[in-house]
Structure 1
Amino acid sequence: MSGYLVPYQDSGSEFTEKRSRFISQLWRVETEAEARAHLEAVRKQYYDARHHCWCYLLNGGAVRYSDDGEPQGTAGQPMLNVFQRQCVTNVCCVVTR
């Protein structure tokens, strides 16, 4: 595959597994500041959530992720790996539990 994929619109979903509620949100971002702003907005919106696992990738720039208290390597890194395998960039994803 040549090139890369970029989300064209914001997206979100929610599901419950073993009495845990998971809320996922995805945005197209152009800068690290924009990605961090989305993350902070989610933290404010769901202030009582236990975890906000996230990742973001910018074309030719930052690649960051966090498990936010989940066992190391079980949330942020796997999310990041999915986007990297599919050649998706300029994306920010937060999963709230």
Structure 2
Amino acid sequence: MICIRKIISQKFVASESQEYGMYMKDGLVYTITEQTRSEIKIKRSTFIGTISPAHTVEDAEQFVDSIRTEFSDATHNCFAYRINENLFRYYDDGEPSNTAGKPILAMLDKYRLHETVLVVTRYFGGTKLGVGGLIQAYSQCAEETIQKAKRIPLVHYQRFRIRYPYQLNKQMEYWVTQFEGRIEKSEFEADITSIIAIPEEHAASFQEQLASNGKHSIQIIQLSDD
């Protein structure tokens, strides 16, 4: 016998000030593993790129604020982030319109980066670059920063709390491995209760596999997406 219950997860609702756009899916998307920084100099101006994972808008905005604090004496702290296909933001921070934030976002999209924020800090060196020069400079700094970072495929997981008898322990481990998941935590009492994460693309098949086991009682509670 199998019992399945679902807990509906809350979805983030963006404010009107945030910018949205469609991003074409074409194969895998990626994120980065850790904060990375690079620096270039163009006509005496210094450009410092800092990239970081950002799983939510709040993560991205907090990271931008931290860079603004770190480089509070900079001329500009321009940035872009993309959380998913539809949720992104870019900001020129005083540079001419679309010469900084938008080129940074274009580089995130070129490398198919989601859940990622990139800030390019500029210390003005006294020589104006012009519109074309600014676009090239911010693009170059953003791209070099991305290339320096470690990129990995972005996988979203569906989490389940599953209660099952001890005799299914090895079988459960096999099923989790079969569906490219992981057991994050287990409690051993009268039965085993585990928090199990399964890639979203395999979550339905994983539940079907458990449901096909008619000999033992398994209780599944679907938790939030990650």
**TM-score normalised by L of structure 1:** 0.92
**Which structure 1 residue ranges, 5 or more long, are not aligned?**
none
Per mean C-alpha deviation after superposition, the further-off stretch among 37-46 and 79-88 is 79-88
1:2 aligns with 2:27: yes
Counterpart of 2:102 in 1: which secondary structure?
Answer: helix
**Partner SS for 1:72:** coil
Residue 71 of structure 1: aligned partner? 96
Deviations 1:56-84 (A, max 9, x none): 00025520000111111111101101211
Q: CA RMSD in A?
A: 1.3
Q: Summarize the alignment of residues 1-97 of structure 1 with structure 2, pairs less than 5 Å apart.
A: 1-60=26-85, 62-97=87-122
- Partner secondary structure for residue 55 of structure 2: coil
Structure 2: distance between partners of 1:15 and 1:3: 30
The Cα shift of 1:85 comes to 2.6
- Listed one character per residue, the Cα deviations across residues 29-69 of structure 1 (whole Å, up to 9, x for unaligned) are 10111111111111111111110110000025520000111
The structure, 1 or 2, with the larger RCO (C-alpha pairs under 8 Å, 6+ apart) is 1
The residue matched to 1:6 in structure 2 has which SS? strand
SS of residue in 1 equivalent to 2:94: coil
Identity %: 33
Q: Give 4+ residue runs of structure 1 displaced > 6 Å after superposition.
A: none
For 1:59 and 1:96, the matched residues in 2 are separated by 24
Q: Whose Rg is larger?
A: 2
Q: How many residue pairs are counted as aligned between the two chains?
A: 97
